[in-house]
Amino acid sequence: MLLKTINRRLLLGLMLFPGLAVADQLNQANTAWVLTSTALVLFMTIPGLSLFYAGLVRSKNVLSVLMQCFSITCLVSLLWLAGVYSFIFDDGGDLQKLIGGSSKVFLPNVSVDSLKGDIPETVFFMFQMTFAIITPALIVGGFAERMKFSAMLWFSALWLIMVYLPICHWIWGGGWLADLGAMDFAGGIVIHVNAGVAALVSALVLGKRKGFPTTAMPPHNMTMVVTGAGMLWVGWFGFNAGSALTADGHAGMAMLVTHIGAASGALTWMFIEWKRFSRPSVLGIVTGMVAGLGTITPASGFVGPFGALVIGVTAGIVCFYATQYIKRTLKIDDSLDVFSVHGVGGVTGSLLTGVFAATSLGGQGLSEGVSTIVEQVGIQALAIVVTAAWSALFSYLILKALDKLIGLRVTSDEEVQGLDTVLHEETGYLDL
């Protein structure tokens, strides 16, 4: 959808000024906004997601989670340069609908003057890199407190190449799902469904933490959790509004609906919890906020404020009960509720995008060539199923292969001792 956004903007410019080669003209306002958005999205991972996740785990594992998010940022950045970006966004010739080309591996022909639409390609490269960074970082929540650091690095690298790369190309790189009309403005399918399913598979393959579900494992530092959640909320404006790639009303609307989705998701979760457990919790309201953000993400460039309100409220309801069902009924130890919040939220938001994108409901319109809401929802459902199936299959294969080769999980004694000491010989807090 990002490439389609660029192409629509170029077409409009050529219609207004037939003699102008818009693709060769740098737009400084758009460039400044995407530069800012890039920093905001990276802010979501380090420190936003890092602090959010680190506060949710037990104190003996706080550094391990911070280390995982930080190292994933570094690892993905280098892999992005080494070819992942090229095979997503470069022209793949006859195979374009399946995978991109290799001419941008290590960016040999990209200079300060190279443009992607009307922004520098270096800026587009960096902006998309931040999306690739946060996606495997989200999966950390599925196996937190029990995975070897070496296995985590190998899994993140292989998953980026085998799972994120093709799915991102199919939807954002001019692939076959984009041609069908799949709508995913900022990553509801590419990021949240994708990472959520991978986290669920990881939790199942690695098994439960020692003591789960009978032993209480509350967050060790709620102040850290709320701080990280606040950073996620702010950074998400770059995530969604930045995906417009323009400093105009489209970015403004994306920012507005993102905020409405977050606020309504947070309050909905809070009130459900308040009624059910007789008290509103800080953990509940911030988790509802993240659910609202993840659910509005695919729709953020396509829906209006009313659609955002409905999507946010729906996110708070659906993700709350998904969390209860996964943890309490199925007893699956998705440590930090990645599937329940991001996976289920991504599915919900992607389906509702097909509804509230309709102009009759205040949206910006369905995909080109799609005439009815039912048809659009069907396309959305197909993209979700394809993404979930691909992510589940290859996440499972990668994990099983790594388990055979290097082992995935620390020993029971090491888990009890805590990953900070066992894997890094450091502790997050000093005993005074």
When pLDDT is cut at 50, 70 and 90, the band that residue 18 belongs to is very low
Q: What is the pLDDT of residues 389-414, one digit of tens each?
A: 999 999 999 999 999 999 999 999 99
pLDDT reported for residue 214: 92
The answer on pLDDT for 5 being more than 80 is: no
Per-residue pLDDT at 4 exceeds 80:
no
Res. 430 pLDDT band, cuts 50 70 90? confident
pLDDT at 23: 52
Confidence of residue 16 (pLDDT cuts 50, 70, 90): very low
Where do we find the tokens 């602090």?
51
Structure confidence at residue 99 as a pLDDT band (50, 70, 90): very high
Please name each of the domains of the chain with its CATH number: 34-413 (1.10.3430.10)
pLDDT for residue 15 is more than 60: no
pTM value? 0.93
Over the stretch 50-95, which tens digit does the pLDDT of each residue have? 999 999 999 999 999 999 999 999 999 999 999 999 999 999 988 9
Residue 9: pLDDT over 80: no
What integer best gives the mean pLDDT of the chain? 94
| Percent of the chain whose pLDDT exceeds 90 | 93
Would you place residue 24 in the very low, low, confident or very high pLDDT band (cuts 50, 70, 90)?
low
At residue 120, the pLDDT reads 97
Q: How far apart are CA 291 and CA 349, in angstroms?
A: 10
pLDDT at 17: 32
Average the pLDDT over 203-225 and give the result.
Answer: 96
258-295: pLDDT as tens digits: 999 999 999 999 999 999 999 999 999 999 999 999 99
pLDDT score of 421 more than 50: yes
